[in-house]
A and B are shown apart, each in its own frame.
Chain A
Amino acid sequence: MSCNPYMPMPAKLENVVRETANIKTFLVRPAKPLAFKAGQFIALTVPGIGEAPFTPSSSPTVSEKIEITIMRVGRVTEKLHALEPGADLAIRGPLGQPYPLEKYYGREVLIVGGGVGLAPLRALLFALFEDMGKYKKIFIRYGAKTPADIVYRKAVEDGWGRKEMDVMISVDKRDADWKGNEGVVTKILAPDKLKCNPSEGVAVVCGPPIMMKFATLELLHLGYAPENIYLSMEKNMSCGIGKCGHCRLGPYYACKDGPVFSFDRIKNLPKIWD
């Protein structure tokens, strides 16, 4: 294997699951096990086309096969979505910093996801499941555009079979069969929908920038401390190791110092939501 940190190792696409019209989950088998921690990301390469950063959505306890849930949105993801099982890929990682789970011990953990933003949060959930006793309670508040855009729908609706979890979903726009909440995700963060103790809890947010912005404002309003709000900052990344300069966020590189930042570290930086 190459020791050049910019070069990936070969990987095989083993399976593809369609989640929604434009989101698929790719099961990737790296040539060698790739161990990662929840919150860390990988760079996935379509050979000859390009590389893009993604956070795995599978359990960090499994390193032989990695699931990555990807929305078709750009040049590389367009090609990925056209691939069939058996295709050659390449993978590089783990990159970035993991969620500081030890800081969540003994506390309520609120997970706020928007759209495909639930994908990286699923890896976090699996990590939390490994040690459920360490956390006071887990809440999930998930927003999707329509019922058809809900990823891992059966698992989410069922709370991954964990009765002790408090799960609520909202859709921006209902369809004829939808009996649940309607409206943006902040609606299900309101105190009548979320019986938790913000001043002592932590909140982990991942979703599109606009959703992250309003969710953060709502969480602050609820009483979450800035240092207890963890945000996944989506930035243009190329090298993933803090050298190429693309993902700079004030004094940080999102790839090396993030991609997850507690809000207090970035709140004074300009244009964090763009």
Chain B
Amino acid sequence: MVSSFFPSQKENVVYKLEKAKLDNFLGIIAEGRELYALERAESQYHLVRSDAWQAGKHTLGAFRQVEPLKALVFRPRELLGSLGGAAPDEHIPERIVIGAKNCDVAALKIHDYVFLNTAPVDPVYKEAREKTIIVSCDCTDACEVCFCPAVKEQPYPKAGFDVNLSPTDLGYVVEAGSERGKQLLKKAESLLSAADAAILKARDQNRQELCKKVCAQTEKMGLACGADLRQAVEKSQGKKIWDDFAEDCVECGACNLICCTCHCFLLADGKGKNGANYRVKQWDSCLYRNFAAVAGGANPRRHRAERLYNRFDKKFSFFPQVLGSYACEGCGRCVEACTGKIDIREVLKRAVNEL
């Protein structure tokens, strides 16, 4: 099961779910699992933990929530154990996420590559991944900062989900994307019917329209969808663009922490109140001055501009080289989180324009 949470493209089984049956359906499939669902707060969505699907409180959401999904499988701070002692006796419960959007789902490719598909396997990540069922949902709208078409993504998932829901005027298209997704749907079989041509057409039309909308808002920013970002970033190395944008960077690391793909972490040791020596694995930020510094004093990225460039280099050059895809899904969270108001779209636009 671990070998790939991203099976190659194939014809998945699709069903139709009537609108009125949605809450019932979600209640059934979430039953017996710890649930993570979206809740609306003003113009945003938050990922909240719950015991059961609550109609009216929980929603599928029109676009991605504030919190990156990665936090469920790659926790901000994870106790690895005490030195010489047993591993922490802490088990991840069987969980289900409902309402995840494509950016977050696609980002798990990056984490899978790092923690699962490159030896040695990270056992806690593996357990978290295996115990987390992902019920994703097509975006039905975009937030202002969304730009997924610029990074070869789209506002609906093509892989990486167990079940995906596509809202349409005619009801929901329900697609099983994995074996366990198929099994899960069996629990709610009685609520599903075969998807007909009309609803599939409605789904495809919705998808196309939203793609157009996100593409238009991205291009309105001056960032062309389909531009070669790898080449643009690689060629920009050492140029003034990075000095200019770094002027606004305050090295808070918010962009890394909120990013759905950033995976860097630090192993840190300490002494607990009981005197035991422990080790934690915690999120780190490559914008921090000493991220790459060695004890002897050398620092390959002494200047902030170099660190800012490094972030883009990792996303748009390193990952295309090792994995064949950008480590950016266009979620725009870093745009919202940046204290210095650095907009990744503006940075990429300038890199492309200066090619």
Task: List residues of A whose CB falls within 8 A of some B CB.
Answer: 2-8, 10, 45-52, 73-77, 88, 90, 208-209, 234-236, 238-239, 241-248, 250-251, 270-272, 274
Asked if B269 contacts A49 (CB within 8 A), the reply is yes
A209 engages B321 (CB within 8 Å): no
Does B325 count as interface, using CB distance less than 8 angstroms? no
Say whether, besides A6-B279, A270-B238, A238 and B296 are in contact (CB < 8 Å). Answer: no
Q: Which residue of A lies closest to B88 (CB)?
A: A4
B56: interface (CB < 8 Å)? no
Q: Are A4 and B124 in contact (CB under 8 A)?
A: yes
Is B322 a contact partner of A246 (Cβ separation < 8 A)?
Answer: no
Does chain A have a CB within 8 A of B5?
Answer: no
B270 touches A48 (CB 8 A): yes
27 A–B contacts from the bound complex (CB under 8 Å): A2-B81, A4-B124, A5-B123, A6-B80, A6-B267, A6-B281, A7-B81, A7-B83, A7-B87, A7-B279, A45-B269, A47-B84, A47-B269, A49-B269, A50-B268, A235-B292, A235-B294, A238-B266, A243-B265, A244-B284, A245-B265, A246-B291, A246-B292, A248-B318, A271-B300, A274-B298, A274-B302
A241 touches B120 (CB 8 A): yes
Contact call A90/B122, Cβ cutoff below 8 A: no
- Chain B positions 23-40 with a Cβ under 8 Å from a chain A Cβ: none
Interface membership of B216, Cβ < 8 A? no
The DSSP consensus for interface residues of chain A is loop
A234, closest chain B residue (CB):
B294
Residue-wise, chain B 78-115 has the 8 Å CB interface mask toward A (1 for contact) of 00110110110000000000000000000000000011
Q: Which size class do B's interface residues fall under?
A: 35 or more
Please tell me if the beta carbons of A5 and B83 are within 8 angstroms of each other in the complex: no
A62 shortest CB reach to chain B, Å: 23
In the complex, the chain A residue whose C-beta lies closest to that of B296 is A73
| Chain A CB within 8 A of B286 CB | yes
Chain B residue at minimal CB-CB distance from A116: B296
Report if A245-B284 is in contact (Cβ < 8 Å); known contacts: A6-B279, A235-B294, A270-B237: yes
CA gap between A10 and B82 in the complex, in Å: 11
User: Is B4 located at the chain interface by the 8 A CB criterion?
Assistant: no
**A3: nearest residue on chain B (CB-CB)?**
B123
Are the C-beta atoms of A243 and B298 separated by less than 8 Å?
no
B44 at the interface (CB under 8 A from A): no
List 8 tightest A-B contacts by C-beta distance, closest first: A74-B295, A245-B264, A48-B277, A47-B277, A48-B271, A274-B300, A5-B120, A251-B321
Contacts of B121 in A (CB 8 A): 5
A75→B294 CA distance, assembly (Å)? 11
A33, chain B: closest CB distance, angstroms: 17
Query: B81 — which chain A residues lie within 8 A by C-beta?
Result: 2, 4, 7
Partner of B83, one of A8, A209, A234: A8
- The answer to the question of B205 belonging to the interface, with a C-beta cut-off of 8 Å to chain A, is no
Tell me the bound Cα distance from A66 to B70 in angstroms: 39
| Interface residues of B, dominant DSSP | loop
What would 14 more interface pairs be, CB under 8 Å, given A2-B87, A7-B87, A241-B120?
Answer: A5-B120, A6-B267, A47-B84, A47-B269, A49-B269, A51-B269, A74-B295, A77-B295, A235-B294, A236-B292, A236-B294, A243-B114, A243-B122, A251-B321
**Contact residues in A for B292 (Cβ distance below 8 Å):** 235-236, 246-248
Partner of B115, one of A238, A243, A246, A250: A243
- Which residue of chain B has the shortest Cβ distance to A239 in the bound complex? B267
Closest to A78 in B: B295
- A245→B314 contact, CB < 8 A: yes
Q: Please tell me if the beta carbons of B124 and A236 are within 8 angstroms of each other in the complex.
A: no
Query: Which B residue sits closest to A251, measured CB to CB?
Result: B321
Hey, which chain A residues are within 8 Å of B299, CB to CB? 274
Residues in chain A near residue B277, CB distance under 8 A: 47-48
Bound: A90/B81 CA distance, A: 13
Q: Give B349 Cβ to nearest chain A Cβ, in Å.
A: 23
Q: Which B residue's beta carbon lies closest to that of A5?
A: B120
A231 to chain B, nearest CB (A): 14
The winner among B80, B237, B269, B290 for most chain A CB atoms within 10 A is B269
Taken together as a complex, chains A and B put the C-alpha atoms of A246 and B281 apart, in Å, by: 13
**Bound complex: CA of A238 vs CA of B293, how far in Å?**
11
Known: A4-B124, A7-B83, A251-B321. A244 touches B266 (CB 8 A): yes
Q: Does B263 contact A (CB under 8 A)?
A: yes
Q: Does B118 contact A (CB under 8 A)?
A: yes
Q: In the complex the two chains form, what is the Cα distance from A47 to B85 in whole Å?
A: 12
Of A234, A235, A239, the contact of B265 (CB 8 Å cutoff): A239
What is the distance, in angstroms, from A72's C-beta to the closest C-beta of chain B? 10
Alpha-carbon distance between A75 and B81 when the two chains are bound, in angstroms: 22
- What residues of chain A lie closer than 8 Å to B266, measured between beta carbons? 238, 244, 246
Q: A10-B83, A235-B294 are in contact. Are A243 and B263 (CB under 8 A)?
A: yes
Chain A residues closer than 8 Å to B286, beta-carbon distance: 245
